[in-house]
Amino acid sequence: MFSKLKVIGAAALGTALALSATVAGAEKLVVSNWDGYMAPGAIDAFNEATGNEAELVLHGTNEEIMGKLIASKGKGYDVVFVSSPFAEVLHNLGLAEELDHDKIPNITNLYEQATQLSHDEGNTFSLPYAWGTTGLCYRSDLVEGTPDSWSDLLKPTEALSGKTTMLATDRWLLGAAMLANGYSVNTTDADELATVRDQLIETKGTLLAYDDTTFYAKLVSGEAELVQAWDGWCNYGIAENADIKYIVPSEGSDLWVDTMVILKNSEHKEAAYAFVDFILEPANHGWAAENILYKVPNKSAMEALSEDFVAQYPNMGITPDQLLKYEQLRDVGEAQRAYSRIVSEIKAN
């Protein structure tokens, strides 16, 4: 899905990890995650608590790790962090382990709503690590009025033209226009996809850039004034400039979910279970909320956040019930080829 490179205050909290994981015996374990998406001391703390020799390898995008997993049939990896549509693909390909919840006692720390996610009701093959919304991030001191519609981005005013960015990743770029038109974010209807394509080609002429990683910095500098953003990334901008605000447009958002998946071909299943259970410790899972500024589906971890923290980053206060009102991006199967072709057409025009 998206590279996550920005970490705020990681060093300060990297040593505050809980060390109560169950000893699982000495096993080597390969965990793949995005850079900066887990406490820097998490692997060492897990090894100290369990006697294992876990190793962290990094991937930049979902597509990158999926290519490796499909080529190796999941061999060589034990736990991977991927976004929910990709977890669903791993399940459909028979590469994801069917989870034994008895081996994950900290699963009880998850919100009840985290067991109701459409891609995997009951958490049968994946466990949610972070979740949130995609919306509009903007400079309230520079934009006239309050943008509250995806159309404010897709059809910007003359004053905003050339000062907006959209996400480059296929599903989210298309999602903005799907939501603006009242379509499912997983539509496979040819006419709807054509409408989305044509609208985004028209929008392209008004954009400053397609940008997945530096849009918040463009807001801070004033180069951009209104951008499409994942909520946590908007928070990076808010951390540097209080005039930056986040809003879910009136047409709604997608509910994005990043997950942990144990590979069926993992040769270290017991250690893999111990690792995901370790992450679900409230202190460990809370690190993500406090440092990468994304909501986590861990009730104890979220309730430990201070009122001041939530006041500074209001989207952290979006409740699990509110999140579940939004449609999740799903595996669209063969239609993914059409999605990729349409995005290529948009960017080529």
How far is C-alpha 259 from the chain's CA centre?
8
**In the block, residue with structure tokens 């509910």:** 255
Q: What is the DSSP string of 241-297?
A: -TTEEEE--TT--EEEEEEEEEBTT-S-HHHHHHHHHHHTSHHHHHHHHHHT--B-S
The ranges of the chain with pLDDT < 70 are 1-27
What pLDDT shows up at residue 1?
45
CA gap 236, 220 in Å, rounded: 10
Name the amino acid, one letter, at 292: I
What pLDDT shows up at residue 63?
87
- Model pLDDT for residues 84-122, shown as the tens digit of each residue: 999 999 999 999 999 999 999 999 999 999 999 999 999
SS3 210: strand
The beta-carbon contacts of 97-103 under 8 Å, at least 24 apart in sequence, are 97/125, 97/261, 97/262, 97/263, 97/264, 97/266, 97/269, 97/272, 98/124, 98/125, 98/264, 99/123, 99/124, 99/125, 99/126, 99/127, 99/262, 100/273, 103/270, 103/273, 103/277
**In the block, residue with structure tokens 């374990």:** 29
Q: What is the number of other CB atoms lying within 10 angstroms of the CB of residue 209?
A: 16
CA gap 344, 209 in Å, rounded: 15
**In the block, residue with structure tokens 């001041």:** 308
How far is C-alpha 207 from the chain's CA centre?
24
What pLDDT shows up at residue 346?
96
Q: pTM here?
A: 0.90
What pLDDT shows up at residue 190?
96
What pLDDT shows up at residue 2?
43
CA gap 282, 264 in Å, rounded: 26
- Model pLDDT for residues 118-152, shown as the tens digit of each residue: 999 999 999 999 999 999 999 999 999 999 999 99
Measured CA to CA in angstroms, residue 89 lies from 57, 63, 82, 283 at distances of 21, 11, 10, 30
Q: What is the DSSP string of 161-181?
A: TTSEEE--SHHHHHHHHHHHT
**123, 168 Cβ separation under 8 angstroms:** no
> φ and ψ at 8, to 5 degrees?
-110, 120
User: If you ran DSSP here, which 8-state letter would residue 23 be given?
Assistant: P
What pLDDT shows up at residue 349?
85
User: If you ran DSSP here, which 8-state letter would residue 295 be given?
Assistant: B
What pLDDT shows up at residue 182?
97
Strands 254-262 and 79-83: antiparallel
